[in-house]
Amino acid sequence: MRLESKTILVTGAGGGIGGAIARVAAAQGAAAVVADLRLDAAERTVAAIEEAGGQAMAIQIDVADEPSWQRAVEATLAWRGRIDGLVNNAAVVNRSGFLTTAPGDFDRLMSVNLRGPYLGIRTVAPHLHDAGGGAIVNIGSHSGFTAHYDFAYTTSKWGLRGMTRAAAMEFADWNIRVNSVCPGVTPTPINAGAPHIQPLIRRTPLGRGARPEEVANVVVFLLSAEASFVTGEDIVVDGGFVAGAAYRDAALESGMTFPLGGAGEAD
């Protein structure tokens, strides 16, 4: 039980990856605060956790809205009396270019993907301090290492890596660790039907998309005492995509096979 007696607040936990984070955290002993814009989706995650014997509470939150954060934290403290961890997971996509994205759409994406984590850290960090320290995990993306055609999303995910490091420096004296987990393609509602998903999966060295639980396991590791000396770090969970998929794909396209030389022919 890596998170025994810990209270962990997860945003966007009515969704694919956030739901898995809440479920895996609860399976590891945490009381999960399942926060989402869509209360019905949060309640479904809570039902799944309770069915598995875990503890969870659903909360409606708009991460872009400061009073919404205050209410979420008050409800968490009323339920558990403490907060030990925060996962800033909620995000939205835009899927449009520079010429086709209206300024209001750009602002809306940034208000969820960057203002959301900023408000979360600002609201929750003092309570992690009260609990004697804690952990924050920001959910980035492998788009925070390379350029996605969704430029606003890409920009927000690069920005989140900067926020992660800055927060890690600022809150180290409060014994709060801050890290990010950057998934690759993970089939969930956020990318359902997006045309680039299957070609991306084909180019992923491990040959498939991630299962939400594979992302959640890394998040839970970072929340746990097993990661007690890890802060300011990004962990990419993308089946090897940003490690070198473009070169690997070019090599395959030119007729090379891996491992080079074929099985049994290596020295």
Ligand X SMILES: NC(=O)c1ccc[n+]([C@@H]2O[C@H](COP(=O)([O-])OP(=O)(O)OC[C@H]3O[C@@H](n4cnc5c(N)ncnc54)[C@H](O)[C@@H]3O)[C@@H](O)[C@H]2O)c1
CA 258, CA 248: separation in Å to the nearest integer? 9
Q: Answer yes or no: 153 catalytic.
A: yes
Q: Which stretch binds ligand X (CB under 6 A): 117-125, 181-189, 222-230, 259-267?
A: 181-189
Q: Which of 118, 149, 153, 247 is catalytic?
A: 153
Let me know if 26 is exposed, middle or buried by CB neighbors in 10 A (0-12, 13-18, 19+): buried
* Using rule CB under 6 A, residue 89 touches ligand X: yes
11 close to 62: Cβ distance less than 8 angstroms: no
Please report whether residue 11 would count as binding ligand X according to CB under 6 A: yes
DSSP state letters, 121-184: HHHHHHHHHHTT-EEEEEE--GGGTS--S-HHHHHHHHHHHHHHHHHHHHHGGGTEEEEEEEE-
Nearest residue (CB) to ligand X, 68 versus 231? 68
Under rule CB under 6 A, residue 62 binds ligand X: yes
- In the complex, what is the shortest distance from the CB of residue 27 to ligand X, in angstroms, rounded to a whole number? 18
Minimum CB distance to ligand X, residue 12 (Å): 3
Residues 207-266 within binding reach of ligand X (CB under 6 A): none
Place of tokens 């639980």: 213
Answer whether 127's CB lies under 8 Å from 77's CB. yes
Residue 18 contacts ligand X per CB under 6 A: yes
Query: Given the rule CB under 6 A, which of 77-85, 170-178, 179-187, 252-260 is the region that contacts ligand X?
Result: 179-187
Cα distance between the two ends of the chain: 44
Q: Which window, 22-30, 56-64, 243-251, 254-262, contacts ligand X (CB under 6 A)? A: 56-64
Block residue for tokens 């802060």: 231
- Least gap, CB of 4 to ligand X (angstroms): 26
Positions annotated as catalytic residues are 153
Contacts with ligand X by CB under 6 A lie at: 11-12, 14-18, 36-38, 41, 61-64, 89-92, 112, 139, 141, 183, 185-186, 188-191
